[in-house]
Structure formats: structure tokens, C-alpha cells
Amino acid sequence: MNGVIPLHKEIGLTSSDCVYKLRKILHTKKVGHTGTLDPLVDGVLPICVGQSTKLVNRLTGSPKEYEGEITLGTSTTTEDREGDAVEDIKLEQAFTNEKLQETFTSMIGDLTQIPPMYSAVKVNGKKLYEYARAGLKVERPERQIHLYDFYMMGEPVFEKATGKQTVRFHVRCSKGTYVRTLAVEFGSLLGVPSFMSELTRTQSAGFDLKDTYKLSDIKSMIESEEYGFLKSIDDVLEDLPAHELTDEEWEVNVVHGGFLEFSQYDTKKNLRVTKNNITKAIYKYDPKDSMWKPETMLLNNE
């Protein structure tokens, strides 16, 4: 069984929980996810099965899209609704739509982020949340991220009684972005405490939320011997140019991890090489040797 499952991870499950459950449902050990989603976040989590586990890093590195909600007026220990309140104020009045959108727009582009203490980033071999739970603080490594889009969705809601304002948003961002940290930074730019009160990943590795399957769906389909939930490696890599191998190229070069020499393909892009229209490897151009060299071998893809 080879391919990628566009899973709809539900709230309450960790990404590792999903991998564990799918191993049992599919009766295979070769299962891996393509980017951690916190238990309080739902949405698209592509899962690689069989040969496609070799594509995990490629799929993890693609931009991702989210829709969520920021609450202005309160900050929490975890930067989301799971944590304890750290600072709580009552807003005297709502921020205008113009001010809110202006703040969203100002954050588009390259940003430097410091991962939250309650995260799985490792420092000196331990995860940050382990330090946080022990009441310890450590220096956290900065990371560079990029926001392609960040904008307000719908009308913000202001509750005069509580002095809290909630704002829904859409963001398209690079690998490694902590969206709950964006929510905190957003409030900081407005001069108020804030936290991420809701989040759904709507797109990842080319899969949209509407294309996903829940664990219960997959279990039912397996029982009925239906496998439409499993997307082929060829479908997942369809954005890459393809070269159909000759028998000689396949038997002499690719089977043995050898180099290939082509002049008709864009050397700035990776190239998938196919046999009988099935992807067998991904090649990358090496300008130093003027040759295409194997980057990912998928010889057992059927």
C-alpha cells in the first residue's frame, strides 16, 4: 500500500495519535505524518503510507493555510485557549476594521519568530513543553518564517460586557510557523494581550479541507474494501515535470541509482522519472557535474 491520505485530524487527537490509529486500521507500520497539528487544532493532515513516507520532508516543507480566531484582551500560558490566563484586560472599545486589517497587512512577509514554551521544539535534547511543565525557562532559538497572506475574515465581534474582541482570520504561511504565536504578535502590535482561540488547517501539501477523510471514514471504507481515500504518489507529485524512462535508462541507470543526462527540462525544478507512467524516483539537477542525480528513490511504487 503506497500513497498519501488527506486526513481530517479532529480536535483532541495528536498527530502521533492519528499515525498510531492508522497503522492499526491499515495493518501496516510504514505510516508517517507531514507536520504536527496541536490537539486543539483540526484540519488537513496529509499522512504518508508505504513508499510515500520518503516524501514526508518534501510535503512538510510546503506552505500551509489556516483559518482561525484571535481573542483580544487576554493572554494565556500556551498562547491558545488551553492555557491559564496570564494577563486579562477589559477593552474600552472595539478596534476598527481598518485598524485590524492594517495590522494583518503589516505582518505579511518575512518574520522572525520565537517558538512558544509549550511546543515540541527541542533544546538540549528536551522538548520545550517539558521545560514549561517543570516551571523552567530556557533560551529559545529564533526561526525565520514567511507569511504569504494574512487577512481578516468576516466581521469582528466585540462583547461590551467582557471587553473582549474576537477576530477571524486566514493565513497562508511557510513551514515552521506557529500560528498561535502570530495571534500573540498581532495583539502586541495593537498594544493588548491576545491568544489564539480557534484554528483549522484548511490546506496542506496541495490538499484542501474538502478533500479530506476522517479516521472513521477510512475505517468504514477499509471494511468495504474501498481505497479512494489513498491518493497515489503520482497524483501527489503531478506538479513536477515527468520523464518517461527508456528501458536502457531504467535498467542501466535508475535501478542502480545512477545519474541521467537531459537537456530538455528546466534545471531549476526537480524532475520525476517514470516507468510505465508510474513515478520511480525524483531527480535533482547538479550544475557542477551538469547531470541529473537521484534525490528520492521510489522504485517499489506500483
Name the residue with higher pLDDT: 163 or 127.
163
- Residue 120 is predicted with a pLDDT of 63
User: What's the average model confidence in pLDDT over 63-85?
Assistant: 94
Q: Is the predicted pLDDT of residue 191 greater than 80, yes or no?
A: yes
- Residue 103 is predicted with a pLDDT of 98
Nearest alpha-carbon partner for 100 in 191, 182, 190: 190
Looking at residue 174, what DSSP letter applies?
Answer: -
Q: Active-site residue among 38, 208, 239, 247?
A: 38
User: Which three cell numbers, joined as nine digits, stand for 183?
Assistant: 495571534
Strands (E), the chain: 3-9, 31-33, 42-49, 64-72, 74-76, 85-88, 109-113, 122-123, 126-127, 143-159, 164-173, 194-204, 207-208, 242-244, 271-275, 278-286, 291-297
Cell numbers 531504467: residue: 250
Q: Is the predicted pLDDT of residue 119 greater than 90, yes or no?
A: no
38 is catalytic: yes
- Residue 83 is predicted with a pLDDT of 86
Q: Is the predicted pLDDT of residue 163 greater than 90, yes or no?
A: yes
